[in-house]
């Protein structure tokens, strides 16, 4: 079974029609966190599922970006009308578990004669941590990503750089970016690199830079601690600050991911960091030759996992939960997972997808799609805490201020840590009360 080709992304809410013969009607919330035709493609995919069987009728509801989907899902839960299934940013799952808003998938897995351990073992090791909590499975990985480096090969040649040897270290990146940057007086006409600095994208990239710089970004075993005011994170933010204000190879201020892509298309930047989930969109729209590569390292290769997992919110009937589980199994099957990967550029978290002949042929024809899979050897779990969005924005607000020249990195991280600690305090106090006295 192959995924259907997508049409242009519409601005209005997208829904699918349910067949009249179905016995259980459910709704499915899904986001589109990157540019492209993904919303219409997902709608077609759900239509395909509806036609494939007569037990479940799914209405697919496009709910915006990851943060928007989180807000709408939480509002629906609080209103007593939770969706049966949600494609949720993988790093929100811990918070849903903390808030007792997602079901443990273990009983549904057991009904299929499987153990949770065997179920989650079907997915790449790098994506398992964000799908599980305290040994229980709460999410089924559907599409995942890592940030990768996109670069214009013609501009590399023009600058005397070898496009077959992209920057491997932070220093390599700075050196290449200096050669690639063009200016007219004090006006930068072509930047050496652009790194998206809008909400969500920025926190994701900074987490990877901090890990590459030898540290960690948050407590992986507990949702109440982040590591913003540490040498590794300060150094990562200093690196971004230097790209703008010392080396003058990146525009200052806040650059949206869409603006970064458009600059790459138009030749206004030679390199950019973007999600591999944008690869299909960039491949469709980039008219100039380009390649992709690992994110350059500081002390070690390290990237954060991104993407989304399928979860079932609490508050649904057993029949709706069973119907949602049927949909989840369909979407995470190797055939569907692999087809979605080929369409979007996300890597397929279901390992068996890469054993299929069509996936092997695709990778042979599109070696750029293999970079994110190869980079999985260095991938680490995605930032996940209590009050995930607020805690993430506490850092992003300060890094945006650094990029705008309003605050120095060390001071910014003191501010970010203080704000994050205040947001985490309710959970810290709640869990502290549970500790043995």
pLDDT reported for residue 32: 80
Do 297 and 329 belong together in one domain?
no
Say whether pLDDT at 207 is over 80.
yes
pLDDT reported for residue 13: 40
pLDDT confidence of 72, banded at 50, 70, 90? very high
Rounded Cα–Cα distance for residues 385 and 389 (Å): 9
pLDDT reported for residue 432: 78
Say whether pLDDT at 123 is over 90.
yes
pLDDT confidence of 428, banded at 50, 70, 90? very high
Do 268 and 180 belong together in one domain?
yes
Residue 3 belongs to a domain: no
Do 32 and 107 belong together in one domain?
yes
User: Which pTM was predicted?
Assistant: 0.91
Do 219 and 277 belong together in one domain?
yes
Say whether pLDDT at 114 is over 80.
yes
Determine the 3-state secondary structure of 11 from DSSP. Answer: coil
pLDDT confidence of 151, banded at 50, 70, 90? very high
Residue 255 belongs to a domain: yes
Do 122 and 188 belong together in one domain?
no
Q: What is the CATH number of the domain that holds 161?
A: 3.40.190.10
pLDDT reported for residue 186: 87
Do 200 and 261 belong together in one domain?
yes
pLDDT reported for residue 23: 81
Q: Which residues pair with 219 in a beta bridge?
A: none
Do 276 and 418 belong together in one domain?
yes
357-409: per-residue pLDDT in tens? 999 999 999 999 999 999 999 999 999 999 999 999 999 999 999 999 999 99
Is residue 214 left, alpha or beta, with left meaning phi > 0 and alpha meaning psi from -120 to 50?
A: left
* Residue in 147, 142, 164, 121 with CA at minimum distance from that of residue 31: 142
User: In the predicted model, what is the mean pLDDT of residues 16-45?
Assistant: 76
User: In the predicted model, what is the mean pLDDT of residues 299-322?
Assistant: 97
Q: How many other CB atoms are found less than 10 A from the CB of residue 294? A: 20
pLDDT reported for residue 38: 84
pLDDT confidence of 271, banded at 50, 70, 90? very high
User: In the predicted model, what is the mean pLDDT of residues 325-331?
Assistant: 98
Q: Which two tokens stand for residue 300?
A: 């070690």
Q: Which two tokens stand for residue 119?
A: 């179920």
Residue 280 belongs to a domain: yes
30-44: per-residue pLDDT in tens? 998 654 588 889 999
Do 161 and 245 belong together in one domain?
yes
pLDDT confidence of 434, banded at 50, 70, 90? low
Percent of the chain with pLDDT over 90: 89
Do 64 and 165 belong together in one domain?
no
Q: Are 231 and 414 in contact (CB under 8 A)?
A: no
**Angle (CA) 308 313 315, round 5°:** 170
Do 138 and 32 belong together in one domain?
yes
pLDDT confidence of 316, banded at 50, 70, 90? very high
User: In the predicted model, what is the mean pLDDT of residues 139-152?
Assistant: 97
User: In the predicted model, what is the mean pLDDT of residues 173-189?
Assistant: 96
User: In the predicted model, what is the mean pLDDT of residues 11-34?
Assistant: 66
pLDDT reported for residue 14: 44
Residue 310 belongs to a domain: yes
Do 311 and 298 belong together in one domain?
no
Rounded Cα–Cα distance for residues 208 and 34 (Å): 19
Q: Which two tokens stand for residue 430?
A: 């709640």
Q: Residue 394: which residues within 8 A CB-CB, separation 6 or more?
A: 228, 416, 419, 420, 423
Do 167 and 221 belong together in one domain?
yes
Say whether pLDDT at 436 is over 90.
no
Q: What is the 3-state secondary structure (H, E, C) of 300-311?
A: CCCEECEEEEEE
Q: Are 109 and 68 in contact (CB under 8 A)?
A: no
pLDDT reported for residue 282: 94
Chain-wide mean pLDDT for the chain?
92
Of the listed ranges 60-64, 177-181, 321-325, the one predicted with least confidence: 60-64
Which residue range(s) make up the domain with 247?
A: 147-305+385-432
């Amino acid at each position: 079974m192959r995924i259907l080709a997508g049409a242009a992304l519409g601005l209005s809410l997208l829904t699918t029609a349910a067949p009249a013969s179905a016995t259980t009607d459910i709704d499915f919330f899904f986001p589109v966190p990157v540019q492209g035709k993904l919303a219409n493609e997902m709608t077609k995919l759900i239509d395909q599922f509806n036609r494939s069987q007569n037990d479940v009728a799914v209405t697919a509801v496009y709910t915006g970006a990851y943060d928007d989907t989180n807000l709408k899902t939480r509002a629906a839960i609080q209103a007593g009308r939770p969706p049966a299934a949600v494609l949720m940013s993988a790093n929100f799952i811990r918070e849903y578990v903390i808030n007792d808003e997602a079901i443990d998938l273990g009983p549904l897995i057991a009904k299929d004669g499987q153990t949770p351990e065997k179920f989650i073992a079907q997915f790449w090791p790098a994506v398992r941590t964000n799908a599980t909590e305290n040994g229980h499975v709460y999410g089924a990985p559907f599409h995942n990503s890592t940030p990768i480096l996109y670069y214009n090969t013609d501009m590399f040649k023009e600058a005397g750089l070898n496009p077959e040897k992209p920057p491997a270290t932070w220093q390599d990146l700075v050196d290449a970016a200096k050669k690639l940057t063009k200016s007219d007086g004090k006006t930068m006409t072509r930047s050496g690199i652009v790194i998206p600095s809008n909400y969500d994208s920025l926190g994701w990239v900074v987490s990877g830079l901090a890990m590459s710089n030898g540290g960690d970004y948050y407590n992986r075993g507990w949702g109440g601690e982040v590591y913003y005011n540490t040498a590794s994170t300060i150094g990562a933010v200093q690196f971004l600050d230097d790209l703008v204000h010392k080396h003058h190879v990146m525009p200052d201020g806040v650059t949206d991911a869409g603006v970064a892509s458009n600059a790459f298309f138009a030749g206004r930047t030679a390199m950019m960091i973007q999600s591999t989930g944008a690869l299909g969109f960039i491949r469709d729209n980039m008219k100039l030759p380009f390649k992709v590569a690992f994110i350059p390292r500081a002390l070690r290769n390290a990237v954060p996992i991104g993407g989304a997992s399928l979860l079932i919110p609490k508050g649904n009937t057993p029949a709706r939960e069973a119907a949602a589980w049927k949909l989840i199994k369909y979407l995470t099957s190797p055939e569907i997972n692999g087809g979605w990967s080929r369409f979007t550029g996300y890597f397929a978290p279901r390992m068996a997808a890469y054993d299929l002949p069509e996936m092997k042929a695709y990778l042979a024809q599109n070696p750029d799609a293999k970079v994110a899979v190869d980079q999985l050897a260095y991938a680490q779990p995605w930032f996940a805490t209590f009050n995930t969005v607020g805690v993430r924005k506490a850092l992003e607000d300060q890094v945006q201020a650094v990029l705008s020249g309003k605050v120095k990195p060390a001071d910014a991280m003191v501010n970010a840590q203080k704000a994050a600690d205040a947001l985490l305090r309710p959970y810290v106090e709640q869990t502290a009360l549970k500790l043995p006295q």
